[in-house]
Amino acid sequence: MLAITKTNWTHKKLGDICKKIGSGITPRGGEAVYSNSGATLIRSQNVYNNDFHYEGLAYINDEIADKMKSVQVQEKDVLLNITGDSVARCSIVPESILPARVNQHVSIIRPQEAKLNPHFLMYYLVSPYMQKYMLSLAGSGGTRKALTKSMIEDFSVPIPNIETQTRIASILSAYDDLIENNRRRIQLLEGSARLLYRECFVHLRFPGHEHVKIIDGVPEGWEKKKIADVCETVGGGTPSTKNPEYWLNGNITWITPTDVTRNDSLALLQSERKITLSGLKKSSAKLVPPFTILMTSRASIGYFALMAEEVCTNQGFINIIPNSNTMSMYILYNLMNRVDEILLHASGSTYKEISKGEFRTFDIIIPSKNLLGQFEEQAWLLHTQVRNLKKQQLNLQQARDLLLPKLMNGKIEV
Protein backbone atom coordinates (compact mmCIF):
# COMPACT_ATOMS: atom_id res chain seq x y z
CA MET A 1 0.00 0.00 0.00
CA LEU A 2 1.39 3.41 -1.02
CA ALA A 3 0.80 6.43 1.18
CA ILE A 4 0.00 9.19 -1.23
CA THR A 5 0.87 12.73 -0.22
CA LYS A 6 1.25 15.80 -2.32
CA THR A 7 5.00 15.57 -1.92
CA ASN A 8 4.93 12.39 -4.03
CA TRP A 9 3.36 14.25 -6.94
CA THR A 10 4.66 16.58 -9.59
CA HIS A 11 2.50 18.98 -11.58
CA LYS A 12 2.57 19.35 -15.35
CA LYS A 13 0.72 21.42 -17.89
CA LEU A 14 -1.95 19.41 -19.62
CA GLY A 15 -0.72 20.47 -23.05
CA ASP A 16 2.67 18.86 -22.34
CA ILE A 17 1.24 15.40 -21.65
CA CYS A 18 -1.49 15.14 -24.31
CA LYS A 19 -1.41 14.03 -27.93
CA LYS A 20 -4.44 16.14 -28.82
CA ILE A 21 -6.48 19.00 -27.36
CA GLY A 22 -9.00 20.57 -29.68
CA SER A 23 -12.67 21.33 -30.26
CA GLY A 24 -14.88 19.83 -32.92
CA ILE A 25 -16.80 21.07 -35.94
CA THR A 26 -20.48 21.63 -36.60
CA PRO A 27 -21.32 20.16 -40.02
CA ARG A 28 -22.42 22.63 -42.68
CA GLY A 29 -26.21 22.73 -42.68
CA GLY A 30 -26.55 22.02 -38.95
CA GLU A 31 -29.43 19.80 -37.87
CA ALA A 32 -30.74 19.61 -41.44
CA VAL A 33 -27.95 17.16 -42.34
CA TYR A 34 -28.42 14.84 -39.37
CA SER A 35 -29.26 11.21 -40.23
CA ASN A 36 -31.03 8.35 -38.51
CA SER A 37 -27.81 6.32 -38.58
CA GLY A 38 -24.13 6.61 -39.42
CA ALA A 39 -21.30 8.09 -37.40
CA THR A 40 -22.26 9.57 -34.03
CA LEU A 41 -22.06 13.34 -33.58
CA ILE A 42 -21.42 14.15 -29.93
CA ARG A 43 -22.83 17.45 -28.68
CA SER A 44 -22.56 19.25 -25.35
CA GLN A 45 -26.01 17.96 -24.31
CA ASN A 46 -24.54 14.44 -24.25
CA VAL A 47 -21.61 15.25 -21.97
CA TYR A 48 -22.18 15.36 -18.21
CA ASN A 49 -19.74 15.09 -15.34
CA ASN A 50 -18.55 11.49 -15.21
CA ASP A 51 -21.62 10.54 -17.23
CA PHE A 52 -22.60 10.32 -20.88
CA HIS A 53 -26.24 10.87 -21.89
CA TYR A 54 -27.35 8.91 -24.95
CA GLU A 55 -30.62 10.81 -25.28
CA GLY A 56 -30.58 13.20 -28.22
CA LEU A 57 -27.52 11.68 -29.91
CA ALA A 58 -27.20 12.93 -33.50
CA TYR A 59 -25.82 11.00 -36.48
CA ILE A 60 -24.15 12.02 -39.72
CA ASN A 61 -23.63 10.08 -42.94
CA ASP A 62 -20.27 8.72 -44.10
CA GLU A 63 -19.64 11.59 -46.51
CA ILE A 64 -20.01 14.25 -43.84
CA ALA A 65 -18.11 12.15 -41.30
CA ASP A 66 -15.21 11.83 -43.75
CA LYS A 67 -15.01 15.63 -43.99
CA MET A 68 -14.77 15.75 -40.19
CA LYS A 69 -11.89 13.27 -39.81
CA SER A 70 -9.84 15.84 -37.93
CA VAL A 71 -12.31 15.71 -35.02
CA GLN A 72 -12.71 11.94 -34.93
CA VAL A 73 -13.05 10.58 -31.41
CA GLN A 74 -10.97 7.64 -30.27
CA GLU A 75 -11.37 5.12 -27.48
CA LYS A 76 -10.57 6.60 -24.03
CA ASP A 77 -10.72 10.22 -25.24
CA VAL A 78 -11.76 12.68 -22.53
CA LEU A 79 -14.63 14.97 -23.60
CA LEU A 80 -14.90 18.46 -22.12
CA ASN A 81 -17.70 20.95 -22.79
CA ILE A 82 -16.12 24.31 -23.58
CA THR A 83 -18.99 26.78 -24.19
CA GLY A 84 -22.33 27.89 -22.77
CA ASP A 85 -24.16 26.85 -19.62
CA SER A 86 -22.79 23.29 -19.78
CA VAL A 87 -19.18 24.47 -19.82
CA ALA A 88 -16.73 22.33 -17.76
CA ARG A 89 -18.85 19.16 -17.88
CA CYS A 90 -16.55 16.22 -18.57
CA SER A 91 -16.74 12.49 -19.34
CA ILE A 92 -14.97 9.63 -21.11
CA VAL A 93 -16.29 8.70 -24.55
CA PRO A 94 -18.25 5.40 -24.41
CA GLU A 95 -16.82 2.77 -26.77
CA SER A 96 -20.36 1.81 -27.80
CA ILE A 97 -20.92 5.04 -29.77
CA LEU A 98 -17.76 4.86 -31.88
CA PRO A 99 -17.13 5.84 -34.64
CA ALA A 100 -17.90 9.39 -33.56
CA ARG A 101 -17.14 13.07 -34.11
CA VAL A 102 -17.65 16.12 -31.85
CA ASN A 103 -19.17 19.50 -32.60
CA GLN A 104 -17.54 22.83 -31.80
CA HIS A 105 -18.90 22.99 -28.24
CA VAL A 106 -16.95 19.91 -27.13
CA SER A 107 -13.20 19.51 -26.83
CA ILE A 108 -11.31 16.24 -27.33
CA ILE A 109 -8.51 15.69 -24.81
CA ARG A 110 -6.29 12.72 -25.72
CA PRO A 111 -3.61 12.02 -23.08
CA GLN A 112 -0.25 10.37 -23.68
CA GLU A 113 -1.25 7.21 -21.83
CA ALA A 114 2.28 6.36 -20.71
CA LYS A 115 2.24 9.62 -18.71
CA LEU A 116 -1.44 10.27 -17.93
CA ASN A 117 -4.25 7.79 -17.37
CA PRO A 118 -7.38 9.09 -19.22
CA HIS A 119 -9.74 8.06 -16.41
CA PHE A 120 -7.49 9.68 -13.80
CA LEU A 121 -7.61 12.89 -15.88
CA MET A 122 -11.39 12.77 -16.20
CA TYR A 123 -11.79 12.31 -12.44
CA TYR A 124 -9.43 15.21 -11.83
CA LEU A 125 -11.41 17.47 -14.16
CA VAL A 126 -14.71 16.66 -12.44
CA SER A 127 -13.24 17.18 -8.96
CA PRO A 128 -14.77 20.13 -7.02
CA TYR A 129 -11.56 22.15 -7.24
CA MET A 130 -11.25 21.88 -11.04
CA GLN A 131 -14.95 22.43 -11.63
CA LYS A 132 -14.83 25.66 -9.65
CA TYR A 133 -11.63 26.72 -11.38
CA MET A 134 -12.90 25.99 -14.89
CA LEU A 135 -16.23 27.75 -14.31
CA SER A 136 -14.40 30.80 -12.98
CA LEU A 137 -12.00 30.77 -15.92
CA ALA A 138 -14.80 30.31 -18.47
CA GLY A 139 -16.74 33.29 -17.12
CA SER A 140 -13.79 35.67 -17.09
CA GLY A 141 -13.49 36.48 -20.76
CA GLY A 142 -16.79 37.95 -21.96
CA THR A 143 -20.54 37.57 -22.19
CA ARG A 144 -20.53 33.89 -23.19
CA LYS A 145 -18.88 31.28 -20.99
CA ALA A 146 -16.03 29.61 -22.82
CA LEU A 147 -12.84 27.63 -22.30
CA THR A 148 -10.22 28.12 -25.01
CA LYS A 149 -7.64 25.63 -26.22
CA SER A 150 -4.83 27.64 -24.63
CA MET A 151 -6.65 27.69 -21.28
CA ILE A 152 -7.01 23.91 -21.34
CA GLU A 153 -3.38 23.39 -22.37
CA ASP A 154 -2.32 25.49 -19.36
CA PHE A 155 -4.23 23.42 -16.80
CA SER A 156 -1.84 22.26 -14.08
CA VAL A 157 -2.43 18.54 -13.48
CA PRO A 158 -1.06 16.58 -10.47
CA ILE A 159 0.95 13.64 -11.78
CA PRO A 160 1.70 10.73 -9.44
CA ASN A 161 3.34 7.78 -11.14
CA ILE A 162 1.19 5.98 -13.71
CA GLU A 163 0.61 2.97 -11.41
CA THR A 164 -0.82 5.25 -8.72
CA GLN A 165 -2.97 7.07 -11.27
CA THR A 166 -4.36 3.73 -12.44
CA ARG A 167 -5.12 2.58 -8.89
CA ILE A 168 -6.94 5.83 -8.09
CA ALA A 169 -8.95 5.59 -11.30
CA SER A 170 -9.78 1.94 -10.52
CA ILE A 171 -11.09 2.78 -7.05
CA LEU A 172 -13.40 5.47 -8.42
CA SER A 173 -14.37 3.34 -11.43
CA ALA A 174 -15.52 0.57 -9.08
CA TYR A 175 -18.20 2.93 -7.77
CA ASP A 176 -19.15 3.88 -11.32
CA ASP A 177 -19.45 0.23 -12.31
CA LEU A 178 -21.90 -0.38 -9.46
CA ILE A 179 -23.86 2.74 -10.43
CA GLU A 180 -24.01 1.60 -14.05
CA ASN A 181 -25.10 -1.89 -13.00
CA ASN A 182 -27.98 -0.35 -11.04
CA ARG A 183 -28.90 1.78 -14.03
CA ARG A 184 -29.17 -1.30 -16.23
CA ARG A 185 -31.29 -3.12 -13.65
CA ILE A 186 -33.59 -0.09 -13.45
CA GLN A 187 -33.99 -0.10 -17.23
CA LEU A 188 -34.89 -3.81 -17.19
CA LEU A 189 -37.47 -3.37 -14.42
CA GLU A 190 -39.14 -0.39 -16.06
CA GLY A 191 -39.00 -2.15 -19.40
CA SER A 192 -40.82 -5.11 -17.81
CA ALA A 193 -43.61 -2.83 -16.61
CA ARG A 194 -43.97 -1.30 -20.09
CA LEU A 195 -44.10 -4.74 -21.70
CA LEU A 196 -46.71 -5.89 -19.18
CA TYR A 197 -48.88 -2.85 -19.96
CA ARG A 198 -48.63 -3.37 -23.71
CA GLU A 199 -49.31 -7.10 -23.46
CA CYS A 200 -52.46 -6.60 -21.36
CA PHE A 201 -53.89 -3.33 -22.66
CA VAL A 202 -52.56 -2.78 -26.18
CA HIS A 203 -52.36 -6.33 -27.53
CA LEU A 204 -55.27 -7.37 -25.25
CA ARG A 205 -53.56 -10.59 -24.20
CA PHE A 206 -54.57 -10.17 -20.55
CA PRO A 207 -55.26 -13.16 -18.25
CA GLY A 208 -58.52 -14.77 -19.36
CA HIS A 209 -58.76 -12.79 -22.61
CA GLU A 210 -59.85 -15.92 -24.47
CA HIS A 211 -63.20 -15.80 -22.69
CA VAL A 212 -63.92 -12.07 -23.05
CA LYS A 213 -65.87 -10.63 -25.98
CA ILE A 214 -64.40 -7.67 -27.89
CA ILE A 215 -67.07 -5.07 -28.71
CA ASP A 216 -66.04 -2.18 -31.01
CA GLY A 217 -62.39 -2.92 -30.23
CA VAL A 218 -62.92 -2.79 -26.44
CA PRO A 219 -63.17 -5.87 -24.18
CA GLU A 220 -66.58 -6.36 -22.62
CA GLY A 221 -66.78 -4.78 -19.16
CA TRP A 222 -64.22 -2.09 -19.89
CA GLU A 223 -65.30 1.56 -19.93
CA LYS A 224 -64.45 4.52 -22.13
CA LYS A 225 -64.02 7.73 -20.13
CA LYS A 226 -62.32 11.12 -20.36
CA ILE A 227 -59.12 11.98 -18.52
CA ALA A 228 -61.19 14.55 -16.62
CA ASP A 229 -63.37 11.72 -15.29
CA VAL A 230 -60.52 9.76 -13.70
CA CYS A 231 -58.06 12.31 -12.36
CA GLU A 232 -57.48 15.87 -11.22
CA THR A 233 -55.00 17.96 -13.21
CA VAL A 234 -52.96 20.64 -11.44
CA GLY A 235 -50.57 23.17 -12.96
CA GLY A 236 -47.48 24.75 -11.50
CA GLY A 237 -45.75 28.08 -11.08
CA THR A 238 -42.49 29.84 -10.34
CA PRO A 239 -42.05 32.26 -7.42
CA SER A 240 -40.28 35.47 -8.40
CA THR A 241 -36.55 34.82 -8.51
CA LYS A 242 -36.00 38.49 -7.60
CA ASN A 243 -37.30 37.92 -4.09
CA PRO A 244 -34.86 35.92 -1.91
CA GLU A 245 -37.65 35.39 0.64
CA TYR A 246 -39.16 32.85 -1.77
CA TRP A 247 -35.97 30.82 -2.21
CA LEU A 248 -33.46 31.30 0.61
CA ASN A 249 -33.34 28.25 2.90
CA GLY A 250 -36.44 26.81 1.25
CA ASN A 251 -37.56 23.33 2.25
CA ILE A 252 -40.39 22.66 -0.22
CA THR A 253 -39.35 20.49 -3.15
CA TRP A 254 -39.85 22.39 -6.43
CA ILE A 255 -39.51 20.42 -9.66
CA THR A 256 -38.51 21.73 -13.09
CA PRO A 257 -38.61 19.84 -16.40
CA THR A 258 -34.81 19.59 -16.28
CA ASP A 259 -35.07 17.51 -13.09
CA VAL A 260 -37.22 15.04 -14.99
CA THR A 261 -35.52 15.00 -18.40
CA ARG A 262 -32.10 14.41 -16.80
CA ASN A 263 -33.42 11.60 -14.60
CA ASP A 264 -32.81 8.08 -15.89
CA SER A 265 -36.02 6.50 -14.57
CA LEU A 266 -39.55 7.25 -13.41
CA ALA A 267 -38.36 7.33 -9.79
CA LEU A 268 -37.27 10.90 -9.00
CA LEU A 269 -35.49 11.26 -5.65
CA GLN A 270 -34.41 14.90 -5.52
CA SER A 271 -34.68 18.27 -7.20
CA GLU A 272 -32.15 20.98 -7.92
CA ARG A 273 -34.06 23.71 -6.04
CA LYS A 274 -36.43 24.23 -3.14
CA ILE A 275 -38.77 27.10 -2.35
CA THR A 276 -40.06 28.58 0.91
CA LEU A 277 -43.64 28.49 2.23
CA SER A 278 -43.90 32.17 1.33
CA GLY A 279 -42.80 31.39 -2.23
CA LEU A 280 -45.46 28.69 -2.47
CA LYS A 281 -48.24 30.95 -1.17
CA LYS A 282 -47.30 33.90 -3.39
CA SER A 283 -47.05 32.03 -6.70
CA SER A 284 -49.26 29.76 -8.78
CA ALA A 285 -47.27 26.71 -7.63
CA LYS A 286 -49.37 24.17 -5.72
CA LEU A 287 -48.41 21.25 -3.50
CA VAL A 288 -49.43 17.87 -4.90
CA PRO A 289 -49.55 14.56 -2.98
CA PRO A 290 -46.82 11.88 -2.98
CA PHE A 291 -46.71 9.79 -6.16
CA THR A 292 -48.59 12.36 -8.21
CA ILE A 293 -47.86 11.70 -11.91
CA LEU A 294 -45.62 14.58 -13.01
CA MET A 295 -45.86 15.10 -16.79
CA THR A 296 -43.84 17.75 -18.63
CA SER A 297 -46.24 19.76 -20.77
CA ARG A 298 -44.21 22.38 -22.66
CA ALA A 299 -41.07 22.41 -24.82
CA SER A 300 -39.84 18.93 -23.77
CA ILE A 301 -43.29 17.33 -23.67
CA GLY A 302 -44.16 13.86 -22.45
CA TYR A 303 -41.53 13.09 -19.80
CA PHE A 304 -42.84 11.50 -16.60
CA ALA A 305 -41.75 11.10 -12.98
CA LEU A 306 -43.02 10.06 -9.56
CA MET A 307 -41.77 11.42 -6.22
CA ALA A 308 -42.51 9.78 -2.86
CA GLU A 309 -43.24 13.11 -1.17
CA GLU A 310 -45.35 16.23 -1.51
CA VAL A 311 -43.88 18.47 -4.22
CA CYS A 312 -44.71 21.44 -6.36
CA THR A 313 -43.60 22.15 -9.92
CA ASN A 314 -43.02 25.05 -12.21
CA GLN A 315 -45.46 25.89 -15.00
CA GLY A 316 -43.91 23.36 -17.39
CA PHE A 317 -46.01 20.50 -15.98
CA ILE A 318 -49.44 19.00 -15.85
CA ASN A 319 -49.57 17.22 -12.49
CA ILE A 320 -51.98 14.29 -12.60
CA ILE A 321 -53.70 13.08 -9.41
CA PRO A 322 -55.81 9.95 -10.05
CA ASN A 323 -59.21 9.91 -8.35
CA SER A 324 -58.46 6.38 -7.15
CA ASN A 325 -55.17 4.93 -5.97
CA THR A 326 -56.13 1.69 -7.71
CA MET A 327 -55.37 3.13 -11.14
CA SER A 328 -52.27 5.34 -10.71
CA MET A 329 -49.89 3.00 -12.49
CA TYR A 330 -52.41 2.23 -15.21
CA ILE A 331 -52.89 5.95 -15.99
CA LEU A 332 -49.12 6.52 -15.93
CA TYR A 333 -48.31 3.74 -18.40
CA ASN A 334 -51.32 4.58 -20.54
CA LEU A 335 -50.01 8.11 -20.98
CA MET A 336 -46.43 6.94 -21.53
CA ASN A 337 -47.75 4.80 -24.36
CA ARG A 338 -49.46 7.85 -25.92
CA VAL A 339 -46.68 10.45 -26.04
CA ASP A 340 -46.96 10.83 -29.84
CA GLU A 341 -50.68 11.54 -29.45
CA ILE A 342 -49.98 14.09 -26.70
CA LEU A 343 -47.41 15.82 -28.94
CA LEU A 344 -49.94 16.04 -31.79
CA HIS A 345 -52.27 18.05 -29.53
CA ALA A 346 -49.55 20.47 -28.44
CA SER A 347 -49.55 23.94 -29.96
CA GLY A 348 -47.74 27.27 -29.69
CA SER A 349 -45.52 29.55 -31.77
CA THR A 350 -42.63 30.11 -29.35
CA TYR A 351 -42.65 26.57 -27.94
CA LYS A 352 -45.09 23.68 -28.10
CA GLU A 353 -47.36 23.13 -25.10
CA ILE A 354 -50.27 20.86 -24.24
CA SER A 355 -52.86 22.73 -22.16
CA LYS A 356 -54.68 21.23 -19.18
CA GLY A 357 -57.99 21.89 -20.95
CA GLU A 358 -56.96 20.00 -24.07
CA PHE A 359 -55.41 17.18 -22.06
CA ARG A 360 -58.54 16.66 -19.97
CA THR A 361 -60.59 15.92 -23.09
CA PHE A 362 -58.49 12.86 -24.00
CA ASP A 363 -60.31 9.53 -24.04
CA ILE A 364 -59.04 6.76 -21.78
CA ILE A 365 -60.20 3.14 -21.62
CA ILE A 366 -60.56 1.81 -18.06
CA PRO A 367 -60.20 -1.99 -17.74
CA SER A 368 -62.19 -4.22 -15.43
CA LYS A 369 -61.61 -3.72 -11.71
CA ASN A 370 -59.98 -7.13 -11.29
CA LEU A 371 -57.49 -6.68 -14.14
CA LEU A 372 -56.74 -3.12 -13.04
CA GLY A 373 -55.92 -4.37 -9.55
CA GLN A 374 -53.60 -7.08 -10.87
CA PHE A 375 -51.66 -4.60 -13.02
CA GLU A 376 -51.42 -2.04 -10.21
CA GLU A 377 -49.98 -4.61 -7.83
CA GLN A 378 -47.34 -5.84 -10.28
CA ALA A 379 -46.40 -2.38 -11.56
CA TRP A 380 -46.04 -0.92 -8.05
CA LEU A 381 -43.86 -3.87 -7.03
CA LEU A 382 -41.55 -3.17 -10.00
CA HIS A 383 -41.53 0.57 -9.23
CA THR A 384 -40.63 -0.07 -5.58
CA GLN A 385 -37.63 -2.11 -6.71
CA VAL A 386 -36.65 0.72 -9.07
CA ARG A 387 -36.91 3.28 -6.27
CA ASN A 388 -34.73 1.16 -3.98
CA LEU A 389 -32.09 0.83 -6.71
CA LYS A 390 -32.21 4.59 -7.29
CA LYS A 391 -31.54 5.16 -3.58
CA GLN A 392 -28.56 2.80 -3.75
CA GLN A 393 -27.37 4.67 -6.84
CA LEU A 394 -27.60 8.01 -5.03
CA ASN A 395 -25.71 6.66 -2.01
CA LEU A 396 -22.95 5.31 -4.27
CA GLN A 397 -22.69 8.64 -6.09
CA GLN A 398 -22.43 10.53 -2.81
CA ALA A 399 -19.78 8.15 -1.46
CA ARG A 400 -17.76 8.44 -4.70
CA ASP A 401 -18.04 12.23 -4.68
CA LEU A 402 -16.79 12.41 -1.09
CA LEU A 403 -13.88 10.12 -1.88
CA LEU A 404 -12.87 11.77 -5.15
CA PRO A 405 -11.31 15.03 -3.83
CA LYS A 406 -9.48 13.15 -1.08
CA LEU A 407 -7.89 10.81 -3.62
CA MET A 408 -7.05 13.73 -5.88
CA ASN A 409 -5.47 15.64 -3.00
CA GLY A 410 -3.33 12.66 -2.08
CA LYS A 411 -4.91 12.35 1.40
CA ILE A 412 -5.83 8.66 1.17
CA GLU A 413 -3.57 5.64 0.87
CA VAL A 414 -4.00 3.46 -2.20
Statement to judge: residues 16 and 152 lie in one domain: yes
Statement to judge: residues 388 and 329 lie in one domain: no
As a whole number of angstroms, the distance between CA 255 and CA 271 comes to: 6
Which distant-in-sequence residues (6+ apart) come within 8 Å of 26 by Cβ? 103, 104
Cα angle vertex 403, ends 401, 407, to 5°? Answer: 125
Last residue of a domain, one of 159, 183, 200: 159
Statement to judge: residues 238 and 378 lie in one domain: no
Say if 216 falls within a structural domain: no
Statement to judge: residues 393 and 378 lie in one domain: yes
Looking at the 3D structure of the chain, how many domains does it have?
3
Say if 154 falls within a structural domain: yes
pTM: 0.83
Say if 192 falls within a structural domain: yes
Statement to judge: residues 268 and 390 lie in one domain: no
As a whole number of angstroms, the distance between CA 407 and CA 402 comes to: 9
Statement to judge: residues 318 and 348 lie in one domain: yes
Say if 262 falls within a structural domain: yes
Last residue of a domain, one of 118, 144, 159: 159
Residue 141 confidence (pLDDT): 61
> How does the average pLDDT of the chain come out, rounded?
92
88 pLDDT exceeds 80?
Answer: yes
Which distant-in-sequence residues (6+ apart) come within 8 Å of 200 by Cβ? 206, 367, 371, 375
Residue 228 confidence (pLDDT): 97
Statement to judge: residues 203 and 133 lie in one domain: no
Domain span at 409: 161-208+368-414
Say if 199 falls within a structural domain: yes
pLDDT in tens, 236-290: 999 999 999 999 999 999 999 989 988 889 999 999 899 999 999 999 999 999 9
Check if the beta carbon of residue 127 is closer than 8 Å to that of residue 408. Answer: yes
Last residue of a domain, one of 335, 350, 366: 366
Statement to judge: residues 308 and 190 lie in one domain: no
Residue 142 confidence (pLDDT): 61
Statement to judge: residues 320 and 358 lie in one domain: yes
409 pLDDT exceeds 60?
Answer: yes
Say if 120 falls within a structural domain: yes
Statement to judge: residues 235 and 169 lie in one domain: no
Statement to judge: residues 337 and 327 lie in one domain: yes
Say if 45 falls within a structural domain: yes
Statement to judge: residues 187 and 247 lie in one domain: no
As a whole number of angstroms, the distance between CA 346 and CA 301 comes to: 8
Mean pLDDT, rounded, for 63-80 = 92
Say if 3 falls within a structural domain: no
Band (32; pLDDT cuts 50, 70, 90): confident
- Check which CATH number belongs to the domain holding 202 and give it: 1.10.287.1120
Count of Cβ atoms closer than 10 Å to residue 413 Cβ: 10
- 37 burial class (0-12, 13-18, 19+ CB within 10 angstroms)? exposed
- Check which CATH number belongs to the domain holding 22 and give it: 3.90.220.20
